[in-house]
Amino acid sequence: MPTIDYEKDGRIGRITLNRPEVMNAINDELPRELADAVARADADPEIHVMVLSGRGRAFCAGYDLTYYAEGNGNGQATQDMPWDPIKDYRFMWANTQHFMSLWRAMKPVICKVHGFAVAGGSDIALCADLTIMADDAEIGYMPARVWGCPTTAMWVYRLGPERAKRMLFTGDRITGREAADMGLVLKSVAADDLDDEVEALAARMASVPVNQLAMQKMVINQAIEQTGLMQTQRLATIFDGITRHSPEGIHFKERAERVGWKQAVAERDQGTWDWTTNEPLPRRNR
């Protein structure tokens, strides 16, 4: 089954993440198929705007850890050990560039977030031009606590340094309403109003000539890119591999193999485990 659905709807190209059984978690195919769908819409002269969404209970729950732990039969996320940092970098950089197809497309992209846009799913959502969330949806990059660095680095470009640090020093998840108040996303609306809100904005934008939309997007994106966006993303992608193979990252993986991914992730996100010693964190230090 394709991981991405694409539909042309008048002047709107609808791109839908299509792994609802795992809350659209990212596997090997999804980033490539996402970029292919973006390219298809971008090349169609009749499409003015893209709407990106997720099928099922969530927009995207991040990388499919079960897939990468079990799918290759050896429990390694991207490769056999010993770890080759360049092989890891090539794999993650390719995914980062596939996500950035949303940013590089000449036509604007609206991302509609319900349920969750977490971990790698937040990378996808934040590469869009405009992101609208349901009030009760959640966004965050929990692997910042251990085992990850957001490779697209879009947190800092959307939030500025202090608020980006607040999110990535904690790995907290926040609601759509909090994200909008913080300036991370364009706006947040009641879940029942999310579809109507996105459709109204898409329709309004679709009435603008394609070349006008492209020129405005290019000017605004160029201002961001001049600050060194690609260099920041390269560093973040290198660090992402290092976080997964640092002593704490190896301990996290060992813990996950011992007690299962769900429990290890819960201990990580709740701050109840000391990944330096690979032992429970004393209650006074939690």
Residue among 73, 47, 52 at smallest CA distance from 4: 52
The arithmetic mean of pLDDT across residues 246-256, rounded, is: 92
Class of 4-245 per CATH?
alpha beta
The arithmetic mean of pLDDT across residues 197-201, rounded, is: 98
- Token pair for residue 133? 């969330």
The arithmetic mean of pLDDT across residues 109-125, rounded, is: 98
Domain boundaries, the chain: 4-245
* Residues 109, 27: Cα–Cα separation, whole Å: 22
| Beta-sheet pairing, 130-134 with 4-9 | unpaired
Q: What pLDDT was estimated at residue 257?
A: 86
Residue among 272, 246, 265, 273 at smallest CA distance from 63: 265
Q: What pLDDT was estimated at residue 261?
A: 86
Q: What pLDDT was estimated at residue 72?
A: 47
The arithmetic mean of pLDDT across residues 25-30, rounded, is: 96
More confident residue, 238 or 78: 238
Q: What pLDDT was estimated at residue 85?
A: 93
Residue 126 — pLDDT band, cuts 50, 70, 90?
very high
> Could you give phi then psi for residue 196, rounded to 5 degrees?
-60, -40
Sign of CA dihedral 224, 225, 228, 230: positive
Torsion of CA 53, 44, 153, 226, to 10 degrees: -150
More confident residue, 74 or 205: 205
Q: Which region among 5-14, 43-52, 65-74, 269-278 has the lowest average model confidence (pLDDT)?
A: 65-74
* Residues 250, 34: Cα–Cα separation, whole Å: 30
Q: Which region among 49-63, 67-81, 137-151, 270-284 has the lowest average model confidence (pLDDT)?
A: 67-81
* Residue-wise pLDDT tens digits, 47-89: 999 999 999 999 999 999 877 755 444 445 556 778 899 999 9
Work out the burial of residue 286: count CB atoms within 10 Å of its CB; fewer than 13 is exposed, 13-18 middle, 19 or more buried. Answer: exposed
Q: What is the reported pTM?
A: 0.94
| Beta-sheet pairing, 138-140 with 273-274 | unpaired
Residue with tokens 């390719």: 94
Mean pLDDT of the chain: 94
pLDDT for 235 beyond 60: yes
* Residue-wise pLDDT tens digits, 158-198: 999 999 999 999 999 999 999 999 999 999 999 999 999 99
Work out the burial of residue 130: count CB atoms within 10 Å of its CB; fewer than 13 is exposed, 13-18 middle, 19 or more buried. Answer: middle
* Residues 4, 190: Cα–Cα separation, whole Å: 26
Percent of the chain with pLDDT over 70: 96
Percent of the chain with pLDDT over 90: 89
